[in-house]
Amino acid sequence: SRQVLLLGGETSHSGPEHYVGKDHKLYTLCADTLTWQQHCSTVDTNAAASSCSRMQALTCNPCARVLHMAELRPSSTTQREEIVMVGGISESGLADMHPWVLDTETMRWRVHIVSL
């Protein structure tokens, strides 16, 4: 079925002056039934441990962020669809530029460490 994926964003605000926080949860909207489902996806904690805090790795998702970029593409290794997400603004400022990849079948995140 067709789905829309939503990764967090800003929460509980009525304008820029009443900003409350960011949400890191992953949601899908089934386009056929118009029903939402919240996912507690899993993260590859071995990869995440090298670029993220332990607390962030335990949240099951990349850190909460807004204004990030994401792209749907076929995986070069599995040929399944995956979403690559990078950048944005997190609670502590600019999010790191390590790309996070979500396998859309397993809903499992992995992070790629980029050397600059």
Question: Which pLDDT value is given to residue 12?
Answer: 59
Token pair belonging to 5? 């994926």
- Measured over all CA atoms, what is the biggest interatomic distance in the chain, rounded to whole angstroms? 45
Is there a contact between 29 and 4 (Cβ–Cβ < 8 Å)? Answer: yes
| Mean pLDDT in consecutive groups of 10 residues from the start of the chain, 116 residues | 76 58 77 87 45 44 83 88 89 85 86 74
Nearest to 103 by CA among 41, 47, 56: 41
Question: Which pLDDT value is given to residue 90?
Answer: 81
DSSP codes joined into one string, 68-91: -EEEEEE-TTT-SEEEEEE--EET
Is residue 25 packed enough to be buried (19+ CB in 10 Å), middle (13-18) or exposed (0-12)? middle
